[in-house]
Amino acid sequence: MASQGLIKTQARTMGGGEKKPSMPIAERNFDIVFVGGINSTALAKFVQQHPDADKLKMAVISEQGKYVHP
Q: What pLDDT shows up at residue 42?
A: 87
What is d(CA 20, CA 12) in angstroms, rounded to the nearest whole number?
12
pLDDT, tens only, 24-47? 889 899 999 999 988 888 899 899
Q: Are strands 32-35 and 58-61 parallel, antiparallel or unpaired?
A: parallel
For residue 40, give every residue at least 6 positions away whose Cβ sits within 8 Å of its Cβ, in sequence order, or none: 34, 60, 61, 62
* CA atoms within 13 A of residue 55's CA, in its CB half-sphere: 3
Over 70: is that where the pLDDT of 2 sits? Answer: no
Q: What pLDDT shows up at residue 69?
A: 65
